[in-house]
Amino acid sequence: MGIAIVLWRFCGVVAAILAWIVIALAVSRNPWFNVFKHALSDLGDLKEANDPWIYNVGLIVTGVITCIYSLYIAYTSNNKVLVFASALLFVAGIFLALIGVYPAGTRPHTFVSTWFFIQMLLTIIAIAIGFTVEKALLHAAILWIISVIGPLGATLIKWPSVALQEIYGIILIDIAIVTITTKI
pLDDT of residue 87: 98
> What's the pLDDT tens digit per position in 132-170?
999 999 999 999 999 999 999 999 999 999 999 999 999
Instruction: Give one DSSP letter per residue of 39-92, joined into a string.
Output: -GGGGG-TTTSSSHHHHHHHHHHHHHHHHHHHHHHHHH-SSHHHHHHHHHHHHH
> What is the C-alpha to C-alpha distance for residues 42 and 142, in angstroms, rounded to an integer?
31
Distant-in-sequence, close-in-space partners of 67: CB < 8 Å, separation ≥ 6: 89, 90, 93, 94, 97
Query: For residue 8, which amino acid is it?
Result: W
pLDDT of residue 3: 78
Domain residue ranges in the chain: 2-183
> What's the pLDDT tens digit per position in 172-183?
999 999 999 999
pLDDT of residue 1: 55
pLDDT of residue 4: 73
Report the candidate in 86, 89, 111 with the shortest Cα–Cα distance to residue 98: 111
pLDDT of residue 7: 84
> What's the pLDDT tens digit per position in 59-115?
999 999 999 999 999 999 989 999 999 999 999 999 999 999 999 999 999 999 999
